[in-house]
Chain A
């Protein structure tokens, strides 16, 4: 496990992502506001390139037929089967035991590092 410089902060604007290859593994690095998150580009469901999925707010509810849209929570939606994962944890919204492979990310001197 060691840090790999994958981009400069300015390469990834807020709400964007970059998919890089580190040690032969495809890894999606996402920027939400000023936080960075990194996941293996494989969906645990059917091995889809999950990091290519849409980033959206989270639809929530406090009871039947009440729908709210939580813009503060960002969901990564798998492009193949629409499964939703919380970008902060990589956990599936419907099955918390199911999660994306997550990597630590940090920023130093304007550069983004992923620990792989």
Chain B
């Protein structure tokens, strides 16, 4: 375990390891101001938003997602983020990249597809412009957001922004009307594949609200505790849909990320779908391999929220079973109430090479960022930073 000082910072060096851990954090939430956002909306929605606020749908439950003021709101105060993220875990953990994934993007459950798409577009423009105002920190990369009520509008947005040097992923909310493998969504996957961008989902925060399906297949939960605990069900439904509908046969270069849905359920899902496929192959004869093989080839998962068993080593056993060294990408979810710092004991129990792949390599491959070897070649020996 790391030694931590009274203020929570790491006080030891790299511990038992010979060098620090390079980190790509694939889920860091920057925030935006509604009044500022309004300026990026077309009329009449600009005036509507300025005068009456943005259209929202929610779960009807209490939400505790609000950013922790101790941690700060990145695009408004980049220094706060750097302090709480990039610098906080030195020298053992060296943040190389943070993927800024925005916040409050619950537009996929809004009933009006044009309004929802305009909101996503405004969010993208605002994010990129704020990045310019503050001076781009090369450690930040961005998600562009689309919403899937009308996938043709989403594809148009991908065509508009693909090629921006700091956009590394097309993200969309998990809340929606159909499982994500259905052909309704093809235009999004086609555009993303064409431009070489991965697609990733993140909970909208309003799963169960507006036009989206209940967040749990059992129905509508009554508390945030129930809602949040059941979110993996939605991820399971989406992933199984992607596999069964043959999305990765149809789009063989598509990469798909599942962020903030947890991961321990994945081992169950892989075992289950591989078994079911042996009996029910004839329903989906376009699946040419065991379904779990498509997961390894095409899908990656954010680690947060880490499951926290009484014995942390039990999590390491689950990771070993599922092949987590190839599948997982570290995500902090900062600055939300359930964020996972890199020095979580549930990550420290993992074998070193698995940690290095989860902290850096899998994300570098997924988002097309420099490999660890390339980092070291361009900067000299990283380990010098640990002792400096």
Closest 7 CB pairs of A and B: A64-B246, A61-B285, A59-B282, A82-B279, A61-B286, A64-B286, A64-B250
Which residue on chain B has the smallest CB distance to residue A56? B282
Q: B290 interface residue, CB < 8 Å from A?
A: yes
Q: Let me know if B247 and A64 touch, CB within 8 A.
A: yes
How close is A76's CB to chain B, nearest CB, in angstroms?
13
Number of A-B residue pairs with CB-CB distance less than 8 Å in the complex they form: 43
Q: A93 interface residue, CB < 8 Å from B?
A: yes
Q: A63 interface residue, CB < 8 Å from B?
A: yes
Interface residues of A in 56-84 (CB under 8 A from B): 59-68, 81-84
Q: Let me know if B281 and A84 touch, CB within 8 A.
A: yes
Q: A109 interface residue, CB < 8 Å from B?
A: no
Q: Let me know if B278 and A60 touch, CB within 8 A.
A: no
Q: Across the interface, which residues of B come within 8 angstroms of A68, CB to CB?
A: 285
Per DSSP, chain A at the interface is loop
A84 to B284, CA, bound (A): 13
Q: Let me know if B286 and A66 touch, CB within 8 A.
A: yes
Interface residues of B in 237-294 (CB under 8 A from A): 245-247, 249-250, 277-286, 290
Q: B313 interface residue, CB < 8 Å from A?
A: no
Q: Let me know if A64 and B245 touch, CB within 8 A.
A: yes
Given contacts A61-B286, A67-B285, contact A83 B245 (CB under 8 A): no
Q: Let me know if A59 and B279 touch, CB within 8 A.
A: no
Q: How large is the interface on B (under 10, 10 to 19, 20 to 34, 35 or more residues)?
A: 10 to 19
Q: A94 interface residue, CB < 8 Å from B?
A: yes
Q: Let me know if A83 and B249 touch, CB within 8 A.
A: no
Q: B183 interface residue, CB < 8 Å from A?
A: yes
A29 to B239, CA, bound (A): 42
How close is B157's CB to chain A, nearest CB, in angstroms?
25
How close is A45's CB to chain B, nearest CB, in angstroms?
8
Query: C-beta contact mask, A37-68 vs B, less than 8 Å → 1, else 0?
Result: 00000000100000000000001111111111
Q: Across the interface, which residues of A come within 8 angstroms of B280, CB to CB?
A: 82
Which residue on chain A has the smallest CB distance to residue B280? A82
Q: Across the interface, which residues of A come within 8 angstroms of B290, CB to CB?
A: 94-95
Q: Let me know if B285 and A60 touch, CB within 8 A.
A: yes
A93 to B282, CA, bound (A): 10
Q: Let me know if B250 and A63 touch, CB within 8 A.
A: yes
CB<8 Å pairs between A and B, sample of 25: A45-B278, A59-B282, A60-B285, A61-B284, A61-B285, A61-B286, A63-B246, A63-B249, A63-B250, A63-B286, A64-B245, A64-B249, A64-B250, A68-B285, A81-B278, A81-B279, A82-B279, A84-B281, A92-B278, A93-B281, A94-B277, A94-B281, A94-B290, A95-B278, A95-B290
Q: Across the interface, which residues of A come within 8 angstroms of B245, CB to CB?
A: 64-65
Q: Across the interface, which residues of A come within 8 angstroms of B249, CB to CB?
A: 63-64
